[in-house]
Structure formats: structure tokens, C-alpha cells
Amino acid sequence: MKRFKTHVILVSDQVTPNATPVMDDQIRPEKVILCVTKSMKPKAAILKKFFESKKIICEEFELGPAYHFDIIKDRFLELATRLVGDSQNIALNLTGGTKLMTIAALTSFQDDFACFYVIPEEANICMINRNEPIYAISEQMKLEDFFGIHGYQVTAIERRKTISSDARKLFDELLEHYHEFKDAIGELNYNAMIAESNRTMNVKNDIQEKSWGLLNCFMKHGAISYFDDKKITFNGPSGRKFCQGFWLEDYVYLALAAVKEQLQDFAVSISIKSASDTKNEIDAAFLLNNRLYLIECKTANLKKNADALYKMDSVHALTGLRTQPVLISYLPLDKHSKQRAKDLKIQLCEGQEMKKLSSLLLEKMT
């Protein structure tokens, strides 16, 4: 596909197919014209802010009401007539908008302008009215870009994380002795949680013998400084958080880092906020084929925390329909939680599947 100086874009709720061609350096335009209906003005404002931050000239072209076909058709014809003198340098991206918008735009532009469609599942461009091969969009968008086109600012993100050799040994033990530790991990998680308000990091509780092997592993790691049958002492706030479940986030980081050459981008401990200051925390995320995967890490029993799945569903909806939520759980899910995850189209990696997490992330998600 040749580089066109201007892309004409149909703004809709799904902004990713409009942004990915613009962010490909090989076909990156100098200018975009955002064709926007009244209801899509907020989305257009987000795209305009994003494109202008990338030094791309932005123009808004108002179409009027979304479902008044005659009005929309006349507006597209007006735009095409205005641009026809430079038609060789202008391309119409038909991916967004309503079906009425697409029909009206194609009717007005197809004779004089190149028209293309982005195939979201493959991140490819198909020319509609030119005999040209499929063009594979380059994977150049980063996580900050992806959140940005949906109106979210990344306020914290961790791409480089040092994982100690003791932590790596701990992960191996947690998976090697899975059947021994899986029933005790919930108790450790709970004790770490209730220690949050205790400055001494001491938790006085009945520590059952079945938990001692697990506690010993975390003590060798350094997250726990002491335990007996009545007390656990966590090694400061970081040790407490690690025992509460943050160890799984570190393990996921290692799994993503192991396949980083095949990923577009990845990170952990991501914080985002909207223009209205709505904040969300994301355990981990990666981009592959211009598609976003959001990862939630859980070490607690989901049967006692059923709203976690619905929270994942609501968070992934923030960044478009094709965003894929992924739940990684040390404990196996009960059948009802599995069905709920299936209904919500959440990909799962649970229990001993975590031993092959790197390959599963690529195998299940592509």
C-alpha cells in the first residue's frame, strides 16, 4: 500500500482500526480528516488530541445526525468534491462508522479516491477499489498509544523488572509442589491482607501445620522473616504485598519477558486514568497484532471473590470490543466461575497450566 498524505476517517466507538494505519511509519499520513456525527464528537476529540500529540494535522468534518442517510450522503459528497483536486494523495478508511456512513462514504469516494478497510482480526488493510495485495499493518503502537486513543492516560507502567534468583526458585517450588501448597496459599493471602494495617507486619493467628511448607518457601525468598504456629512476621510492606499475591505478577512478568521478541509491547503494574480522573489498575498487559490483552492475576479463591470476573469484563470494555481479558489464577476455578468466564469471553490460565505460561499466552491468545 502506498503512503497517502491524508486519511479520511469515519469516527465510531471502535477507534483502533482508524489509528493503527496512521501509526504505521510506512503509510503514516501527514493529515487526518475526522468525519464525525453528533454522537461521536467525544470520540473525535480523543482521537484529535492523540493524533496532534503525534504531530499529525487533524481536521474535523461534521456529518450531522448519525442515521439521517440523505444528510450524511450530501455531506460526504460535499467533502469529496472539495478534495477531488488532490485525490491521488487522499485515501478513505471505511472501517469505522455506522453502515449508513460506510455506504454514503463509499458512494461519494469510490470513483476518485483510494478506499480501504482494516480487517481487525488480522490487522491487515484490504483495498476496496484498487487491485492491490493485502497490506499487513506494522505493529508500532505501544501500550501508552493504545490507551491514549481510547481516552486514557498511563500514569504508571513497569517494563523493566528485576526478578531475583530467590524469587525464581520460589516460583519453581510453588509449581513443583502445587498440590501441597494450593490449599495453603489462600490462608497466606488472607494473613498478608489483614497485616496491611499492622505497622509491625505481625499477624497473630492459628497457623496450621499444612501451611508451614509454603511459609518456609516464602521465608527462604525473604518475604517472611519469621513464623510459628501462632504468628507470621512479614518482611516489611513489600514482603507483605508479595505474599498477598504480588508474586504472581512477578511470575507473569517473567513469562511475558520470555516471549518478548514475539510481542508488540508488554508491561506490568499499569495505572491509567480518564479525562474525568477515573482510575484503573491493571496487573499486566501486552499487545500482539495490534490487539490488547489485559491480564488479571489472582491467588485468592474466586468462588469467594466472584465479582473479580465482572470487574475484568468492565475494565476490558474500556479499550474496545477486541480487547481480550485474561485471567491467570494459581488456584483452579470452580465450574460456575469457569462458565462465568466463558460467558464473559475471558481467557483462562489456571493451576498447573501456569508451568507453561509463556507458550500458553501465545497459543491461547492468537
Domain 141-366 = CATH 3.40.350.10? no
Tell me the pTM: 0.90
The tens digit of pLDDT for each residue in 129-186 reads 999 999 999 988 999 999 999 999 999 999 999 999 999 999 999 999 999 998 899 8
**How far is 255 from 353, CA to CA, in rounded Å?**
12
The confidence score (pLDDT) of residue 304 equals 56
**How far is 30 from 323, CA to CA, in rounded Å?**
28
Residue ranges per structural domain of the chain:
6-140, 141-366
Task: Judge residue 365's burial from the number of C-beta atoms within 10 Å of its C-beta, 0-12 exposed, 13-18 middle, 19 or more buried.
Answer: middle
Q: Give the CA radius of gyration of the chain.
A: 25
The tens digit of pLDDT for each residue in 331-355 reads 988 888 888 888 888 899 998 899 9
The confidence score (pLDDT) of residue 186 equals 86
DSSP 198: -
Q: Write the CATH number of the domain with boundaries 6-140.
A: 3.40.50.10770
Q: How confident is the model at residue 309 (pLDDT cuts 50, 70, 90)?
A: confident
Average the pLDDT over each of 36-45, 116-125, 252-261, 312-321 and give the range with the smallest value: 312-321
Mean pLDDT, residues 76-90? 97
Q: How confident is the model at residue 305 (pLDDT cuts 50, 70, 90)?
A: low
Residue 67 in this model has a pLDDT that exceeds 90: no
The confidence score (pLDDT) of residue 302 equals 66
Residue 248 in this model has a pLDDT that exceeds 60: yes
Task: For the chain, count helices (H), then strands (E).
Answer: 14, 16
Short-list 91, 77, 174, CA closest to 130:
91
The confidence score (pLDDT) of residue 140 equals 85
Residue 321 in this model has a pLDDT that exceeds 80: no
Between residues 260 and 322, which one has the greater pLDDT? 260
Same fold yes or no, 6-140 and 141-366: no
C-alpha cell belonging to residue 38: 453528533
Between residues 229 and 265, which one has the greater pLDDT? 265
The confidence score (pLDDT) of residue 267 equals 97
Residue 363 in this model has a pLDDT that exceeds 90: no
What is the longest distance spanned by two Cα atoms in the chain?
83
Short-list 304, 365, 296, 356, CA closest to 329:
296
CA-to-CA separations, 344 to 17, 286, 314, in angstroms, rounded:
23, 20, 10
The confidence score (pLDDT) of residue 203 equals 83
